[in-house]
Structure 1
């Protein structure tokens, strides 16, 4: 299992640059499990993500560029933030070369940095519920449409490579009605911070 990063460590590992994302979305997604995402110094270990490729109908980019998904058609290494069902913000990391329009939804984090701020924003002291879902984690990290289109290797974002190989499990994606058979949801095996357990 992945060793937990100490909450007091301001630099959990090597900073990830845009080149990290300039690969297939299906390569980047499992490599993000165990990495640390901070937004304004608040965040934690990524324990669950979902990959979306432009060739499959569940991807926002499947039908071409729009005002909402324009960031997906740009270069890799940028944040794509959108409102889900008019309620929650969701943050995605754009991958592959400009124009490919593929991205990774960040679904869950293990809180390790700035938990007091997360508790205030989420209105709960339950550590597990702070970031165990895409809408929960954006609220906890203070992510809104303001961060849409910002580079992932510059403020307020900071992404750090995982310190060791993670025990990654894969399964079908959640909450979609198209391409439901694709096993493109990835998570840290055994983590209590997942939005939903994996069926193995």
Structure 2
């Protein structure tokens, strides 16, 4: 079952999602950049940078459920960020979809992202990806492997390990050196790394 392929530790689930196709209505993106996030201190992958790092809340509840469910939240009150839950049921973790290449519904994606300078920019960065796909907070909790769902995830062949780059996650102020950001370096849609100004300075 596809769910079983994501019911694994966060970094492995993140790598498995690279090259997958995420459909939302007529628009689809090939996932080219992701970030893995763990859970609370009582779990196997404690992660203070994760939304579930302090335990379950109404907002992060789906992170504690089964894999393959859509976790959506607003960043800065305006950018819709798209995540796929991972790990076994009852253990919190999820993967943030940071960037994708639009592979279907290009005209629709362009109409949603008129400020994009190129097609590679349409779904580059988590907020832009959410806009290009037309995903909203109302889509929270969608089961992505349900063939009747309006948003669906297709796991394609796993990307070869040698084709995947990794490094620190973007824009967080704690656990900043954890190398749980993964991307396909040959894709023009991968976003630029930006270290949060609130993050501690790296050790000399």
* TM-score between the two structures when normalised by the length of structure 1: 0.86
Corresponding residue to 1:192 among 151, 167, 188 = 188
Q: Distance in 2 between matches of 1:46 and 1:117?
A: 18
Q: Distance in 2 between matches of 1:25 and 1:164?
A: 15
Consecutive unaligned residues in structure 1, runs of 5 or more: 1-15
- Secondary structure in 2 aligned to 1:34? coil
Q: Say whether residues 1:96 and 2:79 are aligned partners.
A: no
* Greater shift in the superposed pair: 73-82 or 35-44: 35-44
Consecutive unaligned residues in structure 2, runs of 5 or more: 40-45, 195-204
Q: Say whether residues 1:170 and 2:162 are aligned partners.
A: no
Task: State the Cα RMSD in Å.
Answer: 1.6
State the 1:162 CA deviation: 2.7
* Greater shift in the superposed pair: 72-81 or 160-169: 160-169
Corresponding residue number in structure 2 for 1:142: 134
State the 1:164 CA deviation: 6.0
The structure whose RCO (Cα within 8 Å, separation 6+) is larger is: 1
* TM-score between the two structures when normalised by the length of structure 2: 0.85
Would the aligned equivalents of 1:21 and 1:77 in 2 still touch at CA under 8 Å?
yes
Corresponding residue to 1:183 among 162, 179, 185 = 179
Q: Distance in 2 between matches of 1:131 and 1:195?
A: 9
Would the aligned equivalents of 1:22 and 1:96 in 2 still touch at CA under 8 Å?
yes
Q: Which runs of 4+ in 1 moved over 3 A?
A: 163-166
Corresponding residue number in structure 2 for 1:81: 72
